[in-house]
Chains A and B, each alone.
Chain A
Amino acid sequence: MTGVYSPFVEGLGVWLVCFFTLAVLTFLYRDNPLYKAVEHIYVGVAAGYYFYQAFRGTIYPNFVLHVSRGVHAISSGDATGWTMQWRWGAAILGILLLSRLVPRLSWLSRWPMALVVGAFAALNLTGFAKANFIDQIVGTMLPLTSYAGAPDSLPFWPGAKAAAPSVFNNLVLVTGVVCVLTYFFFSTPRTGLLGKMGSAGIWFVMITFGATYGSIVLARISLLIGRSTTLLDANLPRYGYPAYVCTVLVLATIVIWRLKFFRSDED
């Protein structure tokens, strides 16, 4: 790696990190000019960054470099250079996509959209068919009677491992899959055995959604822990305790705004 930030730039960076973090957190009180300003900065910087990555990451290497190598090949008498010029089709379609910016010409964007939609449809078809359909059905074909290798003890804590396959656990899995699939089958009336299986399916669905919600809480709290740790780690004496100072500055800004400039019709 060549180059690191100078101490001044590094210090400036730490102060900016603290300031931006606390400015965004002011939204928890209510929407305010400080939050709006940093939100717009974020959108602007993000858009500029994505623009750079689109060109440098894909358009330049996969189109510009490719066709220029083709031209070089043609000039050296290599006929494969001509087939490399097919890539112009990608650029033409890409430019046609930009016609969406002009309402009168936006119908031209249907061609590149059709290419993308067709590609996605094909890849989803094959991908889902194998990984989400065949492999999952194969994975559900489990032994439901005792078999070699099945543990002797009941599959409960503390004797057995939670994730260890056993006849009981296999039964739970197979029953659950069949019942939930039955629940989502709407072509016949929910009576008799099918009705009971559908009802059991809802129970499994509720457990699934509950587990998902618990995982969502886990995920979101981790993000807050990350920011808090960053603020704490940045709050060093050699930088002048930026977290403390920025907290005071941001709070003062919000208080002044609330007392002097806030209008209730802004809500």
Chain B
Amino acid sequence: MRNRIPVLISAFVGIFMILKYFSTAATIKRVADELEQWGVVTLSFSIVLGVLNLIKINLKAVMERKKDWGYKLLLLVSMFTMMIAGGIKWYREETLAQSGDGSTTAIKNTLFDFMFDHVYFPLSATIFALLAFYVASAAFRAFRAKNIHATLLLVAAVIVMIGRVPVGGAIWSGFPWLQEWLMTWPNTAGQRAIQIGAAIGMIATGLRVIFGIEKPYLKG
């Protein structure tokens, strides 16, 4: 029973979503629309699950004074500060929205906005910017033309890197043309074939999941 109900749920939802694609019947549309809403709400709870799990792990580490517990305490303090700031912003905007006649206003000077603009934003952007350094050092270390295929990969990458930027046109006026041709024709051919192959796999996997042959939700 524990394993049968999820299989039935998966099949029911899958079949109605597919039927909605092909049918204009009002009943099917109503059921599928409601199932889509259920999917949206359930997936938002998955975000909540992730956050609660983070709290559980870090709170345990702080209470048991494990290694680096100070950093975990910092994490928890930051998290709760952001949550409380978000709650205050929500309350203020909700009060404004309800007190009006559908007029629309946005409040921009809350602690929540300050933390998003000046804490979350630079940290997120810079952590991703670190990748620039690693991609440069990876290119130097790993890009070796050991055989004809690796050489072809290297040549294609160099053409794209030089042709896509203004200096490519300054070195040789044909570089931008060559880069655009490479991306539009050979690259499209390779990408398209990969996409067609992936589509065949996705269709097969989708059918297997809906018919209950594959049950990924039963693992764990």
Contacts and interface: CB of A to CB of B under 8 A. Distances in A.
Q: Touching in the complex, A and B, CB below 8 A?
A: yes
Interface in A1-35: 1-5, 9, 12-14, 16-17, 20-21, 24-25, 27-28
A28 B133 contact: yes
B132 A20 contact: no
Contact of B38 (A90, A107, A129, A220): A90
The 7 closest A-B pairs by CB, nearest first: A176-B189, A210-B156, A48-B82, A214-B160, A44-B78, A208-B190, A94-B45
A106 B81 CA distance: 29
Given A40-B75, A87-B37, A128-B203, A184 B44 contact: no
Given A27-B130, A47-B51, A220-B131, 14 more contacts: A17-B121, A51-B47, A54-B45, A59-B45, A90-B41, A91-B41, A114-B5, A115-B10, A115-B42, A128-B202, A177-B196, A203-B149, A204-B193, A215-B164
Contacts, number: 434
Query: Which residue, B49, B126, B218, has most C-beta atoms of chain A within 10 A?
Result: B126
B167 interface: no
Q: Interface residues of B toward A: which range?
A: 35 or more
A214 B157 CA distance: 4
A72 interface: no
Main secondary structure of the interface of A (DSSP, over half): helix
Given A45-B120, A122-B210, A114 B185 contact: no
Interface in A117-140: 117-119, 121-126, 128-129, 132-133, 136-137, 139-140
Interface of A: 1-5, 9, 12-14, 16-17, 20-21, 24-25, 27-28, 36-59, 62-63, 66, 86-87, 89-91, 93-95, 97-98, 100-101, 106-107, 110-119, 121-126, 128-129, 132-133, 136-137, 139-140, 157-158, 162-163, 169, 172-181, 184, 201-211, 213-218, 220-221, 223-224, 226-227, 230
Contact of B199 (A89, A121, A129, A209): A129
Contact of A13 (B11, B68, B114, B123): B114
Majority secondary structure, B binding face: helix
B50 interface: yes
A118 B11 contact: yes
B198 interface: yes
Contacts of A41: 74-75, 78, 119, 123
Contact of A58 (B41, B161, B206): B41
Contacts of B68: 36
